[in-house]
Structure 1
Amino acid sequence: MIITMRNTDTAAIARKIDELHEERGEAALGRVLTLLIATDEGGLEHALALANGASREHPCRVIAVVPQSGKQTARAGDAEPAAVDPEREAEANGTDANGNPLHSRGHDRNLDAEVRFGADAGAGEIIVLRPRGGLVHHPDTLVIPLLVPDAPVVAWWPTEAPANPKTDLLGAMARRRITDAMRSANPWRTFDDLRRNWSSQNIDMAWTRLTVWRAMTATMLDQPPHLPVIAAKVSGPKDYLSLNMLAAWLRLKLGVSVSIEDVPGAQAVTGVYLTRVDGVLSLERPSVEQGVATISMPGQAPQTISVPARTLQECLSEELRRLDPDEVYAEVITRGWDLIHPAE
């Protein structure tokens, strides 16, 4: 069920949600969190599909904010621009004549919305807000009346993220802030911004994609004999953020030099190699499509295990599952990264 609401306000949206809950005989109190999504029209449906899947493990209210662009222009054929009415111009920008947001008085004239329930909304409900004019600068005040009471707030930027999520209007109200630098237009610049403006509530999907690799690498090192690692190497695509984060983690935790090998044509991390005096421990997954990894340890026969590539939905579900700060991630981006990419 998708209900479209034109030129509406947050009070009307809240009433509609309450009505739908009453009709279905349920309450929003079962939602474990509110997930805020900041995206554009091009990425909206993909982001909502991922949120739908994740919500089956974490029932939540999803609020997507999709700013609309467009400016008031003179009508074609006008010989001269019409005289400007300050009050009407202010309304077009989402403010009154004194510059106060109109939605603070319940007049969200520049707001369209969708309310999705049932099969279109996973295990929760979805609210899509499309502000126009000046309302695009007030996403926080649009969102606040729609939050689930007494539930944590998570902010997620599926592609482009603000340079400082902590000071972003949506990010400032969130207990957890999820970014995905690898899906931005400039992954390295985005990640540099995130590192410079690091906060304990921030996490990036480039790190989440490594969960299985880190777990399997730790498992290899837990097997006897417990000899020290004297060198390490990781392999994968050139300039792949997750690969560099894996190298930074190994450099930080093992205290040895870590080399990065570029593998032409690779789509993800392809291998981890740990050198000891008795030989090389390796974990290799040459092909993402096949999803089969081989573990090799000195004196033992190689073992093959299934290691499919992690989906975005799995990564999102993992981050919604754990809302506390990731201390290891914090160490990697604040200390480990500089060990493999020292400042010039």
Structure 2
Amino acid sequence: MRVDLTDTNASTVSSALLQARLRAGSPTMGMVLTFVVVTDESTHDQAMSDARTVSMEHPSRILGVLRGARRGRPRLDAEVSVGQGASGETVLLRLSGELVDHPVSVVTPLLLPDSPVVVWWPTNAPEDPARDPLGRLALRRIADAAAATRAPTEVLKRRARHYEPGDTDLAWTRLTPWRALLAAGLDQHPVRITGATVEATRANPSADLMAAWLRCRLSVDVDLTVSDGPGITRVALHSRHGDIALDRPDGRLAYFTIPGEADRPVALQRRVTAELLAEELRRLDNDDIYQDAVQVLALSGRGRKRKAPRPPASESSAPPSARVAKQTDTRGRSKKASSS
């Protein structure tokens, strides 16, 4: 059921939640966390839809914080829903006037007691999430540098300088299957890696994080090269025995190359935001590997990006091993301290 409240306050919203649960026949709360979504008019529909999808796996009280215009008198409007496509409760809070600068005063009374708080900024997250007023309430703070409206890779790097335990970015979450496959390749073929190449679209935060992770874990130079996409199209670990590589030219199917073995097709579909959020909420403790990667990113300068050579049309759909012999290696090596 849904209740619309106009020109209201946090106490009335809390009472409306209780009444909505009683009317829906669910007087007890089976929710495991409070999920705060900080959004605006242009993005709140999709953001709240993603949050409701995630709540099917992680029953939550979803608090959408929609900041409106600062002009006019302070005002709070709210939409309270129980059910309505979510496994928990959903509250969309529209703040206007002076209240826009004081969202904590509205959100705090609505937090679930004795439960973790997660804050997600779907688009333009603060540069220092841990010191944001809403971020201070959270055990986990989720940003998405790829959704930044300007210079996403620079946004990621600035945020990396302010990293605090509990911060994470969906640009990192997108790398989970890539990292798992590359680690599996090294397990199967344990060789000394002498360098690496990451090919991706220009200004791709996930590519920067991949390069930082490889530098951190393998202590090698990483060449970050611009391709036509979509997203990351190739990651190669170089050794004197050959490359351990993942090629994904179409954003769906990748070819996994290991020296001495036939190329293997593997599913590597680009995941939707709801899937990424669900993965992040499965563990709320600090991600030490991500922390290491962003520290490398924060300490390094930007590396030189170059255009990746495009294979002829007749070769573009062939497995990587069929193309490697025909390609001239034009990939240089960036400085040891360069950023991805």
- TM-score (norm. length: structure 1): 0.85
Answering whether residue 273 of structure 2 is matched by residue 312 of structure 1, we say yes
Answering whether residue 134 of structure 2 is matched by residue 157 of structure 1, we say no
**Alpha carbons 1:31, 1:59 under 8 Å: kept:** yes
Answering whether residue 92 of structure 2 is matched by residue 135 of structure 1, we say no
Per-residue CA distance 1:124-176 (angstroms, 9 max, x = gap): 11101112211112111101111111110001100011121111111111010
**Alpha carbons 1:28, 1:148 under 8 Å: kept:** no
**Alpha carbons 2:10, 2:106 under 8 Å: kept:** yes
Query: What is the aligned counterpart of 2:221 among 257, 274, 288?
Result: 257
53-62 vs 63-72, which deviates more? Answer: 63-72
- Structure with a larger share of its residues in strand: 2
SS in 1 for 2:114: coil
Distance apart, 1:337 and its partner CA: 5.2
Q: 2:38 is matched by which residue type in structure 1?
A: A
Distance apart, 1:182 and its partner CA: 1.1
The 5-angstrom pairing of residues 107-118 of structure 1 reads: 110-118=75-83
| CA distance in 1: counterparts of 2:4 and 2:191, whole angstroms | 63
Which 4+ residue blocks in structure 1 deviate beyond 6 angstroms? none
| CA distance in 1: counterparts of 2:36 and 2:224, whole angstroms | 36
Per-residue CA distance 1:173-206 (angstroms, 9 max, x = gap): 1010000111011213422331121111100111
Query: What is the aligned counterpart of 2:90 among 120, 123, 126?
Result: 126
The 5-angstrom pairing of residues 1-344 of structure 1 reads: 1-27=1-27, 29-69=29-69, 71-72=71-72, 92=73, 94=74, 110-120=75-85, 122-186=86-150, 187-224=152-189, 226-264=190-228, 266-288=229-251, 291-336=252-297, 338-339=299-300, 341=302, 342=337
Structure having greater relative contact order (Cα 8 Å, sep ≥ 6):
1
Q: 1:311 is matched by which residue type in structure 2?
A: V
Distance 1:216 1:223, change over 3 A: same
SS in 2 for 1:47: helix
| CA distance in 1: counterparts of 2:144 and 2:9, whole angstroms | 31
145-154 vs 184-193, which deviates more? Answer: 184-193
| CA distance in 2: counterparts of 1:168 and 1:337, whole angstroms | 20
| CA distance in 1: counterparts of 2:249 and 2:56, whole angstroms | 32
Q: Which of structures 1 and 2 has the bigger CA Rg?
A: 1
Per-residue CA distance 1:52-110 (angstroms, 9 max, x = gap): 111000000000111221534xxxxxxxxxxxxxxxxxxx3x4xxxxxxxxxxxxxxx1
**Alpha carbons 1:248, 1:337 under 8 Å: kept:** no
SS in 1 for 2:178: helix
- Structure with a larger share of its residues in helix: 1
Distance 1:340 1:134, change over 3 A: closer
237-246 vs 153-162, which deviates more? Answer: 237-246
Per-residue CA distance 1:251-293 (angstroms, 9 max, x = gap): 11111111112112x12111111122211121111111xx111
| CA distance in 1: counterparts of 2:98 and 2:52, whole angstroms | 30
Is there any run of 5+ residues in structure 1 with no aligned partner, and where? 73-91, 95-109
| CA distance in 2: counterparts of 1:262 and 1:249, whole angstroms | 18
Identity level (%): 36
| CA distance in 1: counterparts of 2:338 and 2:216, whole angstroms | 16
Per-residue CA distance 1:225-275 (angstroms, 9 max, x = gap): x221112111111221111110111111111111112112x1211111112
Q: 1:112 is matched by which residue type in structure 2?
A: D
| CA distance in 1: counterparts of 2:69 and 2:4, whole angstroms | 19
SS in 2 for 1:322: coil
**Alpha carbons 1:252, 1:336 under 8 Å: kept:** no
- TM-score (norm. length: structure 2): 0.86
Distance apart, 1:28 and its partner CA: 5.0
Q: 2:184 is matched by which residue type in structure 1?
A: T
SS in 1 for 2:212: helix
| CA distance in 1: counterparts of 2:101 and 2:191, whole angstroms | 57
